[in-house]
Amino acid sequence: MIHLSQARSSIIFEHDGDSLAVLYWGKKLGTINEKSAEAIKSALVKPAFHGGLDVSSSNLILREHSRGWIGHPALRGHRGGIGSSNSFTVKSAVQKDQSMVAHFVDAIAGIEIEITYTLTPSDVLLMDAKVTNTAEGDYFLEHFLYWLPLAEQADEVLDFYGHWTKERQPQRRSIDYGLITREGFEGRSGHDYTITQVALNHATGFRHGEAWSLAMAWSGNNIHHVERLIDGHKSIGAGEYLLPGEVILKKGESYNAPRAIASFSDRGLDGLTNNHYSWIRARKNHITKVRPRPLTLNMWEAVYFDHVEEDIRKMVDKAVEIGVERVVLDDGWFGARRNDRAGLGDWVVSKDAWPNGLDPIIKYINDKGIEFGLWFEGEMVNRDSDLYRAHPDWILQEPGRLPIEGRWQQVLDLTKEGAYNHVLNQVDAVLSAHNIAYIKWDHNRHLTDPISDGRPVVRKQTEAIYRMFDELKKRHPGLEIESCSSGGGRIDLGMIEHADRFWTSDQNDPLERQQIQRWTGLVIPPEFLGTHIGPTVGHQMNRTHSVSFRALNALFGHAGIEWDITEADAHETEILKAYVAFYKKHRDLLHSGTVVRSDEIVGNAQLYGTVALDKKEAIFTYMQLTSLDNFGPLLTTFDGLEKETLYQVTVIENLSADEFTQKRAPGWWPTLALTGDQLAHIGMQLPVLKPESGLLFHMLAL
């Protein structure tokens, strides 16, 4: 028996003769000796049912039908119609610290599989598998899925759906018999990507209860399953979705499955979130270890394709006054890109848009102590472009049939060396010729016909973009890359290894954004998530929101502004300055703390907090989204602080609501001192907020 365990979770593997099973994955167990191992093993053997096979199946890692498993197998493949049945023998299962490497061989099928499980100190379980064809002839791989067992009390599944401007909407349903599946074959993770799939008990909330999550660390096609079988097995599984013929292994060739990332929490969804954050932040190249996240002004919603240097200079002047640290020129600076119907593919500064080139504006920005960033969409091409005219053969397509267009664009075949090098060299040339600290890399359509020379290539195309990002960073040390895909269409645990920021959504309306940020943040830390103050009247929803409500919404991420700030009046300018100053002062905490969300507040308000790891400081925001159900004020508790410590709780008034529906403020307003215990269990009366306004709290240990 192999037992991997960390602070709060355990996984136990049973190596029994030929086979290897996961006996248990969940709450941390104490030490297991040989005697108790035997007892656990026998406790878990299911009876053999009437009408079934003579031996019951356990939670085998590879789930072969030949061993009695009646659900989905881990491996599916064949050799032109034969050789699809598998029975693997475990050659070795070796534990080293909190990792285990298992090596399986199916001599008849001619397949070997190696899987590594690593339970990190953050209670995040990493799984990496490799499938090798050891026999003569081609092996047509259909899928490799990672599977983990679920406890009986996991009776619901939470996953996420969405579309442009409404990414990551939660759906929660019961785990009934059969398969709950989320599949994505957009050739990117996508707006509808579940980001992670969570099995949990119906009573599990943010702050309490058990939850088991599994996600692919991958930006291409994907599968996430929860399976409940009639023999009583309940499991969660995930893998790469392979298109027919996408992976054909010759003798000696291997398929390295993308990594899968699992986690168990006995402290509700907040526990899952904090496990992921702690693991991501522990990586040695994590973005906040490089530098604090600069306050960013993106000019897309301010100018769109209308690049007028004089206007942009005025915006930069205002940005300096406000304290902006990075200015980003979005789409429209290159080729014939005066609208979205032309120019993609020609990554050369346009003389029409920028008669003097980009150097003068970059110098203007840099001279004021601000960094410059630039937009690219290197995987795409408009048919109206020099690139397409020269290389219509560099499009992903079924031979003889041009794919339907999405935003008037086609997808470049980056698996073709010429196309890859064209993009790499053109982007590299722009970066080499200018002082550019950061690029925003967009991807504005999904892949309908991801075919290169007749074969599906989503996998290779995904690897190519990872390689491109890594190469650009290698050539330009310090360069940061934001992954954008019509907003949040390529945010996933694979891209975190290659990008430094995600554009969370094109939705800047704070009401809609609250929900999108809350759930994207389930596994992606706020320092990755671009959050901008949009225009007073939002461009997507046409709703008008106060600048403070927009600021409160944008504070809890990699903060920025996306608005023609020369329009801001004196009051709005003051709030913008306060927002920027607060962000700069507190970003270390905002980007390192433990997340606290509230189970008590549901529906019409949201509470979000981040507590310093040493619990000496915390920041909370209370957002009143819609009107109160009751007339009176709300009693609100703040969890996650040190019980015995006394905290000075202060409302940051210039970033909070300034209008209330009340005759008198609550007695304590705007500051008082309470202990962590009192804050968590007694709480505070809040003022009666109008809908679409919020409060910002700062807590400091006394």
Residue 29 Cβ, how far from ligand DGJ at the closest point, in Å? 46
In the bound state with ligand DGJ, the residue whose beta carbon lies nearer, of 264 and 334, is 334
- Which of 146, 140, 149 minimizes the C-alpha distance to 76? 140
Stretch that binds ligand DGJ, among 188-196, 379-387, 482-490, 591-599 (CB under 6 A): 482-490
| Residue type, position 566, single letter | T
Q: Could you confirm whether 330 is annotated as catalytic?
A: no
Q: Is 375 in the site for ligand DGJ (CB under 6 A)?
A: yes
Number of residues binding to ligand DGJ, judged by CB under 6 A: 11
Question: Which position has the token pair 């086979």?
Answer: 19
Restricted to residues 293-322, the positions that interact with ligand DGJ (CB under 6 A) are: 300
| Residue type, position 572, single letter | E
Task: By CB under 6 A, name the one of 484, 523, 580, 696 that touches ligand DGJ.
Answer: 484
- Which of 35, 43, 24, 220 minimizes the C-alpha distance to 119? 24
Residue 604 Cβ, how far from ligand DGJ at the closest point, in Å? 29
Task: By CB under 6 A, name the one of 10, 486, 553, 656 that touches ligand DGJ.
Answer: 486
Site string for ligand DGJ, 164-183 (x = CB under 6 A): --------------------
Rounded to whole angstroms, how far apart are CA atoms 488 and 19?
42
- Point out the residue whose Cβ comes nearest to ligand DGJ: 331
Taking every pair of Cα atoms in the chain, the longest distance, rounded to a whole number of angstroms, is 83
Rounded to whole angstroms, how far apart are CA atoms 508 and 526?
16
Residue 159 Cβ, how far from ligand DGJ at the closest point, in Å? 23
Task: By CB under 6 A, name the one of 167, 331, 482, 500 that touches ligand DGJ.
Answer: 331
Residue 431 Cβ, how far from ligand DGJ at the closest point, in Å? 18
Q: Is 9 in the site for ligand DGJ (CB under 6 A)?
A: no
In the bound state with ligand DGJ, the residue whose beta carbon lies nearer, of 300 and 582, is 300
Q: Is 385 in the site for ligand DGJ (CB under 6 A)?
A: no
Restricted to residues 512-541, the positions that interact with ligand DGJ (CB under 6 A) are: none
Tokens standing for residue 128: 């990496």
Task: By CB under 6 A, name the one of 149, 487, 535, 560 that touches ligand DGJ.
Answer: 487
Residue 407 Cβ, how far from ligand DGJ at the closest point, in Å? 8
Rounded to whole angstroms, how far apart are CA atoms 617 and 698?
8
Rounded to whole angstroms, how far apart are CA atoms 653 and 694?
10
Residue 253 Cβ, how far from ligand DGJ at the closest point, in Å? 38
Q: Is 330 in the site for ligand DGJ (CB under 6 A)?
A: yes
Restricted to residues 411-470, the positions that interact with ligand DGJ (CB under 6 A) are: 442, 444
Residue 530 Cβ, how far from ligand DGJ at the closest point, in Å? 9
Contacts made by residues 118-122, CB under 8 angstroms, sequence distance 24+: 119/4, 119/5, 119/6, 119/9, 119/11, 120/6, 120/279, 120/282, 121/6, 121/7, 121/278, 121/282, 122/6, 122/275, 122/276, 122/278, 122/279, 122/282
Q: Is 506 in the site for ligand DGJ (CB under 6 A)?
A: yes
Stretch that binds ligand DGJ, among 199-207, 264-272, 480-488, 632-640 (CB under 6 A): 480-488
Beta bridge partners, 146, equal: 238
Q: What residues contact 192, with CB distance under 8 A and at least 6 apart? A: 161, 162, 163, 184, 186
Rounded to whole angstroms, how far apart are CA atoms 48 and 69?
13
Stretch that binds ligand DGJ, among 427-435, 483-491, 569-577, 625-633 (CB under 6 A): 483-491
Q: Is 561 in the site for ligand DGJ (CB under 6 A)?
A: no
Q: Could you confirm whether 506 is annotated as catalytic?
A: yes
Q: What residues contact 115, with CB distance under 8 A and at least 6 apart? A: 61, 101, 102, 104, 127, 128, 129, 130, 146
Task: By CB under 6 A, name the one of 13, 503, 563, 579 that touches ligand DGJ.
Answer: 503
Rounded to whole angstroms, how far apart are CA atoms 460 and 452?
10
DSSP characters over 329-345: E-S-SBTT-SSTTB-TT
How many Cβ atoms are within 10 Å of 142's Cβ, its own excluded? Answer: 15
From 346, 442, 492, 639, active-site residue: 442
Burial class (CB in 10 A: 0-12, 13-18, 19+), 161: middle
Q: Are residues 237 and 214 in contact, defined by beta-carbon separation less than 8 angstroms?
A: yes
Residue 484 Cβ, how far from ligand DGJ at the closest point, in Å? 5
Catalytic residues: 442, 506
Footprint of ligand DGJ (CB under 6 A): 300, 330-331, 375, 442, 444, 484, 486-487, 503, 506
